[in-house]
Amino acid sequence: MVWRTSRKIGTLRGMNTQSSTSPDLGRLALTENALAAADSLWRAEMRRNYGPDGVLIYAYAPEGQGGLGTPLRRSYEARRVAVALWRHERRRS
């Protein structure tokens, strides 16, 4: 499971924020897909750790971030980065 998580998180590394005023719909779609994948991984880790209501109960609590070095923390960080990249691209569009 860790390998799959690391593999999907690795796809976010190639994305960087570039200053531009023109919308790039392909890049927006890419960030949306990355966000969907990262969110799915984080939700799966939340369910694995806390059961079917884990997201509802712990999403905004420190438990939703996981401990350092855990698969939950890695998926949380990947999701956080994906949200930031998506928001950046959405503002440009």
Q: How far is CA 42 from CA 21, 26, 39, 63, 75, in A?
A: 32, 24, 5, 12, 5
> What is the predicted pLDDT for the residue at 92?
82
> What is the predicted pLDDT for the residue at 1?
42
> What is the predicted pLDDT for the residue at 93?
63
> What is the predicted pLDDT for the residue at 8?
54
> What is the predicted pLDDT for the residue at 3?
44
> What is the predicted pLDDT for the residue at 35?
97
Per-10-residue mean pLDDT of the chain, 93 residues long, equals: 51 56 82 97 98 96 96 98 95 78
